Amino acid sequence: MRLILIGAPGAGKGTQADILSKMYSIPVIGTGNIIREAIKTGSELGIRFKSYTDKGLLVPDELVVEMVADRLSHDDCKNGFILDGFPRTVVQAIEFEKMGGRVDCVLSFEVSDADVVSRMSGRRMCSGCGATFHLANKPPLVENVCDLCGSPLIRREDDAPDTVLARLQIYHEQTEPLVEFYSSSGVKFVSLDAMQRVEDITSKVVGLLETV
Ligand code: AMP
């Protein structure tokens, strides 16, 4: 199964990606996570990435495309993968096609700007393993402590309110055109109401994927 998940920041793509990854035993290729890992290492590339992510801007297409091409060449992608956060521009989608990237289904997570802003204010991330939580919707068992690895939870720098607004604007300008791109591409394209309960979204997706 090869899937692309698109949607505004905070729409719940990462949560569904993790669930579907376990169900179908396929890896999640989360470009945001790969970029954050590179930033953590303090490498030259990481420092370059940070200059974009801190402002809520997208990292240049050519850097992301190269990163994804490299990741998809790993053996664990042979039976499928879930692309979470890629492609994020039409240029990336075209480059993905040029590298022979084929997918079975594109899932588009629909959510209003107001809901994104409210969701992002409560989002927390584990400083150790990167797992995500939400103060209201998915609180950790112990306040500010990761359920999985015990590290402290933090707010992602790019989840600060001003940066969220910038990211939303970029989403509308650069990523939303992918909805048109994929819905007219012949690939199975499904719009999902991202404000439904997590379990309800998962069962809808699983039902849809049975027909793929
Ligand atoms: P995410 O965790 O998916 O919200 O990504 C965090 C940040 O990483 C984004 O705000 C961008 O700066 C960068 N990023 C992630 N994926 C991409 C992509 N496909 N193209 C460009 N920048 C990306």
Q: CA nearest 100: which of 76, 73, 63?
A: 73
- Other C-beta atoms closer than 10 Å to the C-beta of 97 total 13
pLDDT of residue 135: 92
User: Which residue type does 83 have?
Assistant: L
Judge if the beta carbon of residue 158 lies within 6 A of ligand 1. Answer: yes
pTM recorded for the entire structure: 0.91
pLDDT of residue 157: 87
Q: Is the dihedral of CA 87, 32, 107, 180 positive or negative?
A: negative
- Other C-beta atoms closer than 10 Å to the C-beta of 51 total 11
pLDDT of residue 211: 84
User: Which residue type does 148 have?
Assistant: L
Q: How far is the CA of 31 from the centre of ligand 1 (A)?
A: 6
Judge if the beta carbon of residue 59 lies within 6 A of ligand 1. Answer: yes
Can you tell me which atom of ligand 1 is nearest the CA of 31?
A: 16
Q: Rounded to whole angstroms, how far apart are CA atoms 151 and 122?
A: 18
List the end-to-end C-alpha distance of the chain, in Å, as a whole number.
Answer: 9
pLDDT of residue 155: 94
- Residues contacting residue 15 through CB under 8 Å, at least 6 positions apart: 132, 138, 198
**Tens digit of pLDDT at every position of the chain (212 positions):** 999 999 999 999 999 999 999 999 999 999 999 999 999 999 999 999 999 999 989 999 999 999 999 999 999 999 999 999 999 999 999 999 999 999 999 999 999 999 999 888 899 999 999 999 999 888 999 999 999 999 999 998 889 988 999 999 999 999 999 999 999 999 999 999 999 999 999 999 999 999 88
